[in-house]
Amino acid sequence: MAITKIHPIKSTLNLAIDYITSNDKTDEQILISSDGCSPATAHLQFMNTRETNNTRGTVLARHLIQSFVPGEVSPDKAHEIGLALAKEVLNGEYEYVLATHVDRNHIHNHIIFNNVNWKTGKCYQSNKRSYHKIRSQSDQLCKENNLIVIDEYYEKYKKKYKTRRKSYKEYQEDKKGRSWKSRLQFDIDRAIKKAKDWENFLQLMKEYGYEIKHGKHIAFKKIDGQERFTRAMRIGEDYTEERLKERILEEVSVNSNRPKSPFKPLDKIIDISANDKIKISPGYKYWATKHNLSAMAETINQVRNEGLKSRSQLEKALQEKASQIQKLLTDIKEIENNIDSKNQMMENRYIIEQYKEIHKYTKENPEDKAFLNEYGPQLMLYKKAVAESFQGSNILPTSKQIYEDLENLHTKKESLIEKLNRSRQEQDRLYQYKKNYDSYLGKEVER
């Protein structure tokens, strides 16, 4: 595998290029390539592109470093991978010089590229998103060249369960329960459970207080406070517009196969004593009285069908239903905690597998300070993952075991959520029984 870093060059561009193309570091310059410029005059050509495009700003170039674990790749293969990375990242639109250094135990590529796009005249935007793209492309090239073992279960886990990374601000807000992204994910999931079709889903989202923006990617914005739209696809692969439509169809199919409730919705009792229309319309009063008698008869019929023979039994049933709902909520929370724990276990296992060779090399070569400096952050991640993974056990489950555990936990969670939804519907029905009883028996039907 390879580690990538990138930093700006704001001065002495010629010295930086001279350093990476030095004979004693590049096997007598055999391992040097360039695009759009000559290594010997690259700094002048970079500056010419800046002047041609009247570019302002302090950044002259970007220095991308791609380092490999000792012994995992030959110099020629490393250079080949570096060229492929430069092609993917720069798309032939930035002049660059690539040099593969072989002077250390760990082979590494240096790519210095112009900060100005010769084709558009725009500056390269270096940020978290562009760096994540570089890392992803480097990892993919390493996989294609068999430099790391692809863990099929981690790949399946990442695709199915791992949502897009949150920004630091989003992470902090999520911990406080105020994350727009987390709230949107929750509302989308509950709307999908209820939606009959795509149009109904959009209507439900509006009822939940969202403004919707259609375009290449569907986006939502909470009306009461959110400043910018959030693209649903940013939550994860399960939230693209195409996938949302598929999930709605899947949920509709599941709902259509569920047994129908034997109880039909109850009509509400009309309060005749407090209704102004009753005073001016004898006909409406007659209709309302008849409606109340019918609604109450249906209420009594359904209550008896449920085996409830008195108001006290109805009160007891409500209390039991509330306790059942609370237990389901507790069980769901416990499963969610277990899911979080398994997610962390999967991530730690992946880190351990990725960086174990780095750790092994540093133990065998503690005097190699340059390597320690190069791979310090990865070693810290490795040690942290090991410390967290072996707190209560000497054995770390395989990625296959963790993935299967996650599958079972998510299945249990979905089952409990279904039970919770049914229990809440039953609770609503019991409350309506009680409300009808109180409205009917507490007042006269006719005045």
Express each pLDDT in 175-187 by its tens digit: 444 467 878 888 8
**Does the residue 157 lie in any domain?**
no
Domain termination residue (choose one: 215, 235, 256): 256
What is the predicted pLDDT for the residue at 166? 47
Q: Which of 33-37, 131-135, 297-301, 319-323 has the lowest mean pLDDT?
A: 297-301
What is the predicted pLDDT for the residue at 297? 72
| Residue 64: pLDDT over 60 | yes
Provide CB contacts within 8 A for 160, sequence distance 6+: 237, 238
Residues 389 and 305 in one domain: yes
Residues 229 and 340 in one domain: no
Higher pLDDT, 434 or 351: 351
Domain boundaries, position 427: 260-447
| Residue 164: pLDDT over 90 | no
The token pair at 53 is 């495009």
| Residue 93: pLDDT over 90 | yes
Residues 267 and 223 in one domain: no
Residues 107 and 42 in one domain: yes
Domain termination residue (choose one: 256, 282, 307): 256
Using 50, 70 and 90 to split pLDDT, how confident is the model at 42? very high
**Does the residue 155 lie in any domain?**
no
What is the predicted pLDDT for the residue at 284? 77
What is the predicted pLDDT for the residue at 213? 94
**Does the residue 93 lie in any domain?**
yes
**Does the residue 158 lie in any domain?**
no
User: For residues 210 and 411, what is the distance between their CA atoms, to the nearest angstrom?
Assistant: 29
Q: How many domains does the chain have?
A: 3
Rg of the chain (C-alpha set): 32
Residues 370 and 426 in one domain: yes
Residues 265 and 280 in one domain: yes
- If you average pLDDT over residues 241-251, what whole number do you get? 90
- If you average pLDDT over residues 18-31, what whole number do you get? 84
CATH of the domain at 136: 3.30.930.30
What is the predicted pLDDT for the residue at 219? 94
The token pair at 94 is 């930035």
Closest C-alpha to 81, from 105, 62, 100: 100
- If you average pLDDT over residues 12-30, what whole number do you get? 86
Report residue 3: phi and psi, to 5°.
Answer: -105, 135
Residues 298 and 442 in one domain: yes
- If you average pLDDT over residues 305-321, what whole number do you get? 79
| Residue 441: pLDDT over 70 | no
Residues 184 and 104 in one domain: no
Domain termination residue (choose one: 256, 275, 294): 256
What is the predicted pLDDT for the residue at 71? 79
Using 50, 70 and 90 to split pLDDT, how confident is the model at 1? low
User: For residues 408 and 414, what is the distance between their CA atoms, to the nearest angstrom?
Assistant: 10
- If you average pLDDT over residues 309-332, what whole number do you get? 86
| Residue 272: pLDDT over 70 | no
Q: Tokens 């998510």 map to which residue?
A: 410
**Does the residue 159 lie in any domain?**
no
- If you average pLDDT over residues 146-156, what whole number do you get? 75
Residues 358 and 384 in one domain: yes
**Does the residue 240 lie in any domain?**
yes
Beta carbons of 325 and 420 less than 8 angstroms apart: yes
User: For residues 268 and 438, what is the distance between their CA atoms, to the nearest angstrom?
Assistant: 11
Q: Any idea of the CA torsion for 207, 181, 169, 6, to the nearest 10 degrees?
A: -140
- If you average pLDDT over residues 103-132, what whole number do you get? 90
User: For residues 224 and 85, what is the distance between their CA atoms, to the nearest angstrom?
Assistant: 44
| Residue 434: pLDDT over 80 | no
Q: Which residues pair with 8 in a beta bridge?
A: 62
| Residue 167: pLDDT over 50 | no
The token pair at 103 is 């002077």
**Does the residue 106 lie in any domain?**
yes
Q: Which of 139-148, 190-199, 319-328 has the lowest mean pLDDT?
A: 139-148
**Does the residue 168 lie in any domain?**
no
How many residues belong to the chain?
Answer: 447
| Residue 112: pLDDT over 80 | yes
Residues 217 and 266 in one domain: no
Question: SS3 for 398-434, per residue?
Answer: CHHHHHHHHHHHHHHHHHHHHHHHHHHHHHHHHHHHH
Cβ neighbour number for residue 24 with a 10 Å cutoff: 9
pTM for this model (two decimals): 0.57
For the chain, what percent of residues have pLDDT higher than 90?
A: 38
Q: Which residues pair with 109 in a beta bridge?
A: 66, 100
Residues 190 and 88 in one domain: no
Pair type for strands 2-9 and 32-35: unpaired
Q: On the CB side of 32, how many CA atoms lie within 13 Å of its CA?
A: 21
Burial of 368 (0-12, 13-18, 19+ CB in 10 A): middle
Residues 182 and 323 in one domain: no
